[in-house]
Amino acid sequence: MSDLSGKTALVTGSVQGIGLSIAEALAGAGARIAVHGLAGDAQIHEVCTRLKDLGAPEAEFFDGDLRGADQIDRMMDAVAAWGGADILVNNAGIQHTSPLKDMPREKWDAILAVNLSAAFHTMQAAMPVMAERGYGRVVNIASVHGLVASKDKAPYVAAKHGLVGLSKVAALEYAASGDKAKGGVTVNCICPGWTETAIIEPQIRARAAEHGGDRDAGIADLLAEKQPSRRTSDPSEIGALALWLCSPVAHNITGTSIPIDGGWTAQ
| Cα–Cα distance for residue pair 204/207, rounded to 1 Å | 5
Q: How far apart are CA 153 and CA 103, in angstroms?
A: 9
Do the beta carbons of residue 238 and residue 23 sit within 8 Å? no
- CB count within 10 Å of CB 64 equals 22
CA 71 to chain centre: 19
> Tell me, what amino acid is at 90?
N
DSSP letter for 266, please: G
How distant, in Å, are the alpha carbons of 105, 109, 137, 147, 235 from that of 180? Answer: 46, 40, 13, 30, 30
φ/ψ (deg, to 5) at 205 = -65, -40
Among this protein's residues, is 174 annotated catalytic?
Answer: no
Strands ordered across the beta sheet of 59-61: 59-61, 32-35, 8-11, 87-90, 135-141, 184-192, 257-260
Catalytic residue among 156, 174, 194, 264: 156
Active site residues: 156
